[in-house]
Amino acid sequence: MSPTDTVRVPEAGLKNFVERSLTTVGVDAEPARIVGEVLVAADRRGIESHGVARLRWFYVDRIRNGRIAARPAYEVVRETPTSLLLDAGNGLGHPASHLAMTRAIEKARGRGIAFAAVRNSNHYGIAGYYAMMALEHDMIGICSTDSAHFAVPTFGRTPMQGTNPFAYAIPAGNEPAFVLDFATTTVTYGKLEVYERKGLKLKPGWAVDNEGNPADDPAVRHGGGSLLPLGGFGTDGGGHKGYGLGALAEILTGVLAGGWFGTALTVAESLTSPSGITSHFFGAIRIDAMRDIADFKRDMDRELRTFKDSAPVPGQGRVYVAGEIEHENEIAFRRDGIPLIAPVIADLDQLAEDLGIEPVPRLS
C-alpha cells in the first residue's frame, strides 16, 4: 500500500479499539470512552490530524512512560454560579475538558452564560468537539486551548506560541450547525504530521526553518522549524492578526487558569517529563437568554443560506459555511466507514500487537 492508500474501518470498532488501548495501560473505562469519542469524532469529521493517528505517541506512550497520569485526581480550584476552574491532575485532556464543558453547560442552563477553565492538563483532541457539546442544549459553545510552542510570532523566528485554536458552535434550524474550529496558525502541527506520512510538500506560507526561512519539507518540524501564524509572513497577509489571536488563546487559557504560559511554557516543553503544561477554556451561552430560540434558529437558517446561495468562483461548485464539509464527512463516513491511511492503520496494528489486544476491524 502507498502512504495515501486508505482502509475503511467501522466507527464503533475504532472507538472500541481506542478504549481497549487506554484501559490496557491503566485508564478507567469512562475516561477511556470519552477519549475514544473525541478521537473518532475527529476522524469521522475528516480532521485526520487530530484523530486516532495520535493515539499511540500522544496518549498511550505518554501514559506508559509516566508523562501523563492514567488515573488523575481532579481538583476544583475555584467555583462560582457562572464559573469553574479545574485542575486536571496531569491527566488526559479529553475527560477533564468534557467535565469542564459539561459543568459550564449546567451552569449556563441556570444563569444564561457560564465559563470554565482547566489547567494542569494535556492535549484534548479537536476543540470543536467541546463547543459542539452545547448544541443539543440550544446553546452556543465556545472553546480554546494553548499548546506546546510550534509557531513564531510576526517578525520573529523563535517559537513562542502553539497552534492555539478557537472553536464556536452555534445551532441552526434546518441547516447544519455553524461550527467554526480553527487554529491560529496557517495550519495545525498535525497537518505537518499528515503531510510527512503522505510524503507531500508543504504549501508556501505554512512553515519556516529555524532561521526563519520558508520551508516546504514537513520534516522541518524535527529540526527546529516552526509554523507561521494565520495570515502567514509579516503583516501584508494579516499574519499579525493570527499572531494576536494565538496570544489571546494563551491568555484565556494559560494565564487565566494560572497554568503554564509564555517562556515558562517554553521551558516546560524542554523538560524530559513535563507534567500537565496545557490549559483550556470553555464557554456556554443559552440562546433563549437573549431571544426566542425558534426565531433565532429561523434567522440562522436565513443567514447560512445567504452564504451558500451566493455565486461561487469559476471552477468551484458551491460556497460552504463553517462546519458544513465536516458535517457531510460525518454522514458519509458513518455510512461507509472511516478512512484511515496506510501508515496510521499500520501504527494501530503495531500498537495492538504491543498491548496484546485485537486490532482495529476492517470494512475494506
Tens digit of pLDDT for each residue in 72-87?
A: 999 999 999 999 999 9
In CATH terms, are 1-70+334-364 and 72-186+228-309 the same topology? no
- How do the domains of the chain map onto residue ranges? 1-70+334-364, 72-186+228-309
Predicted local distance difference test score (pLDDT) of residue 108? 98
Instruction: Evaluate if pTM is beyond 0.85.
Output: yes
Predicted local distance difference test score (pLDDT) of residue 221? 82
Locate 267 and state its grid cell: 521551558
Predicted local distance difference test score (pLDDT) of residue 127? 97
H helices of the chain, where?
11-24, 29-44, 61-64, 93-111, 127-132, 189-198, 239-250, 256-257, 262-269, 293-308, 324-336, 342-355
Query: Which residues of the chain have a pLDDT value below 50?
Result: none
Class of the CATH domain delimited by 72-186+228-309: alpha beta
Distance from the Cα of residue 281 to its chain's centroid? 12
DSSP 291-352: S-HHHHHHHHHHHHHHHHTSPPPTT------TTHHHHHHHHHHHHH-EEEEHHHHHHHHHHH
Predicted local distance difference test score (pLDDT) of residue 188? 83
Class of the CATH domain delimited by 1-70+334-364: mainly alpha
